């Protein structure tokens, strides 16, 4: 297994204002290729500290990849730091300089004096062509380590690590990976239902909660990696059954719902109170949503639930606005008025304050009712008590509502 260290260079990454994205991206790619990442370091562009960090990384790992500090300004110190860490001088590379000039000429620019430093290479190393931007990359050896440096512009970083680093990896290591997504059940339940699953012993399992959805990642390295991951995935799917959802191209719950509606040629309407438009926003984030989603209401005020959706005033008076009967009436009203196959409705209290209606017990934040009206079927509902804060209540309620529709669509097709 290849070992690696990633260094991201730049003072702006150390103020907390801007986050390193290049390192995290490469870390993810390394994980998929079975590379053992030993460290991901964000360092200042101070020459001595940078040289120290590079030498330290080269002493630990077989592969060191550096992001940033290769531009034409005096703050760009990665070339000099690599040379210092290797104990060699920098030299001018005529071919690299020609490439820099040609690239700038294509943009109608003439290289300034400082630009020449971009063609410098540590003695014994080589310049790497940049097909996406101006500054060339660098490759050299320091001790037993192969050291690469690429510009920090994300587009250039990704293209060059693909071309010069990632393309050469993985040949000697067989690795496999699969993701299984779950909705409608808490992460702790998922974990409990997977204990003692023998097929999972042969893979690495990681579970990541995403505000109401849970992502399970199964990874394996070695000769029969694919077979072990496939066995683990079947075991997970068998144990979790309909709690697993499948969305096109690794999408989320809203992608699964849009795809399931599109397959059936169905349309859904939404009538939102506590989720305040979030369900609509999630559905319309998906390209092609217009084929399945013609209309939604955000009836945030109680009177508008009556005016727009026809929720009877007597029902509101009897049960209160945050109640299962009101959610059901909202969904039924939305379905009828939009003239569609299905309608989702939500009502609840997002907080931070409890809902106070005259003559009723206050409704605490986190209490939510979801309803689904489906053509030719009884209206279904969920009563939820969700954890605060406000945005978490809204997000979890929206995911549970979409998941209720997803489950109804799946069971439709199998019965």
Q: Which residues of the shown chain bind its own copies in the complex (CB under 8 A)?
A: 12-19, 24-31, 37-44, 46, 49, 53, 56, 60, 206, 208, 217, 270, 272, 275-281, 283-285, 287, 289-290, 293-301, 303-304, 308, 338, 350-353, 390-391, 394
In whole angstroms, how close is the CB of 87 to its own copies at the nearest point?
A: 19
Give the C-alpha separation, 75 to 68, whole Å. 10
In whole angstroms, how close is the CB of 288 to its own copies at the nearest point?
A: 9
Nearer to its own copies, 124 or 362 (CB): 362
In whole angstroms, how close is the CB of 123 to its own copies at the nearest point?
A: 27
Nearer to its own copies, 204 or 410 (CB): 204
Nearer to its own copies, 384 or 410 (CB): 384
Nearer to its own copies, 93 or 177 (CB): 177
Q: How many residues does the chain have?
A: 415
- Collapsing DSSP states into helix, strand and coil, what is residue 122? strand
Please return the burial class of 242, using the count of CB atoms within 10 Å of its CB with bins 0-12, 13-18 and 19+: exposed
In whole angstroms, how close is the CB of 414 to its own copies at the nearest point?
A: 29
Check: CB of residue 238 under 8 Å from CB of residue 276. Answer: no
In whole angstroms, how close is the CB of 405 to its own copies at the nearest point?
A: 16
What number of CA atoms fall less than 13 Å from residue 348's CA on the CB side?
34
The DSSP secondary-structure symbol of 354 reads P
In whole angstroms, how close is the CB of 294 to its own copies at the nearest point?
A: 3
Give the C-alpha separation, 336 to 160, whole Å. 55
Give the C-alpha separation, 186 to 387, whole Å. 12
Give how far Cα 296 sits from Cα of 9, 309, 336, Å.
47, 11, 12
Beta-bridge partners for 5: 39, 64
In whole angstroms, how close is the CB of 17 to its own copies at the nearest point?
A: 6
Nearer to its own copies, 96 or 271 (CB): 271
Check: CB of residue 67 under 8 Å from CB of residue 159. Answer: no
| DSSP element (H, E) containing 3 | strand 3-9
In whole angstroms, how close is the CB of 293 to its own copies at the nearest point?
A: 5
Please return the burial class of 306, using the count of CB atoms within 10 Å of its CB with bins 0-12, 13-18 and 19+: middle
Nearer to its own copies, 46 or 189 (CB): 46
Nearer to its own copies, 119 or 393 (CB): 393
Check: CB of residue 138 under 8 Å from CB of residue 81. Answer: no
Nearer to its own copies, 5 or 99 (CB): 5
Structure tokens at 206: 């990681």
Give the C-alpha separation, 293 to 300, whole Å. 20
Give the C-alpha separation, 152 to 149, whole Å. 9
Give the C-alpha separation, 85 to 81, whole Å. 6
Beta-bridge partners for 119: none
**Does the bond joining 389 to the residue before it have cis omega, within 30 degrees of 0?**
yes
Nearer to its own copies, 188 or 290 (CB): 290
Q: Where are the alpha helices (DSSP H) in 65-93?
A: 78-86
Nearer to its own copies, 18 or 141 (CB): 18
């Amino acid at each position: 297994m290849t070992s690696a260290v990633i260094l991201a260079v730049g003072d702006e990454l150390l103020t907390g204002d801007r986050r390193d994205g290049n390192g995290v991206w490469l870390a993810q790619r390394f994980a998929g290729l079975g590379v053992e990442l030993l460290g991901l370091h964000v360092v200042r562009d101070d020459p001595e500290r940078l040289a120290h960090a590079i030498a330290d990384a080269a002493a630990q790992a077989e592969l060191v990849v550096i992001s940033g500090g290769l531009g034409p300004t005096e703050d760009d110190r990665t070339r000099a730091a690599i040379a210092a860490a290797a104990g060699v001088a920098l030299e001018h590379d005529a071919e690299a300089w020609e490439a820099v000039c040609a690239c700038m000429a294509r943009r109608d620019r003439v290289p300034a004096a400082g630009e020449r430093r971009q063609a410098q290479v540590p003695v014994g190393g080589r310049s790497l062509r940049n097909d996406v931007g101006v500054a060339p990359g660098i490759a050299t050896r320091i001790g037993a380590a192969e050291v690469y440096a690429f510009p920090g512009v994300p587009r250039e970083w990704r293209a060059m690590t693909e071309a010069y680093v990632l393309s050469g990896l993985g040949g000697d290591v067989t690795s496999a990976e699969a993701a299984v997504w779950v909705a409608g059940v808490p992460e702790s339940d998922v974990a409990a239902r997977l204990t003692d699953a023998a097929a999972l012993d042969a893979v690495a399992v990681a579970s990541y909660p995403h505000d109401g959805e849970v992502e399970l990642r199964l990874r394996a390295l070695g000769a029969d990696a694919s077979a072990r991951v496939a066995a683990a995935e079947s075991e997970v799917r068998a144990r979790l059954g309909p709690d697993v959802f499948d969305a096109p191209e690794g999408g989320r719950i809203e992608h699964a719902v849009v795809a399931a509606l599109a397959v059936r040629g169905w349309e859904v309407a939404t009538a939102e109170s506590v989720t305040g438009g979030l369900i609509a926003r999630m559905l319309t984030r998906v390209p092609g949503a217009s084929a399945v989603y013609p209309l939604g209401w955000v009836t945030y005020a109680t009177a508008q639930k009556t005016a727009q959706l026809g929720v009877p005033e007597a029902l509101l008076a009897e049960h209160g606005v945050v109640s299962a009967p009101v959610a059901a009436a909202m969904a039924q009203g939305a379905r009828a008025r939009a003239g569609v196959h299905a309608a989702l409705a939500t009502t609840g209290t997002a907080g931070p304050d409890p809902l106070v209606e005259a003559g009723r017990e206050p409704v605490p934040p986190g209490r939510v009712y979801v309803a689904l009206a489906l053509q030719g079927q009884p209206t279904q509902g969920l009563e939820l008590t969700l954890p605060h804060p406000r945005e978490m209540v809204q997000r979890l309620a929206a995911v549970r509502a979409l998941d209720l529709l997803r489950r109804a669509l799946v069971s439709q097709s199998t019965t």
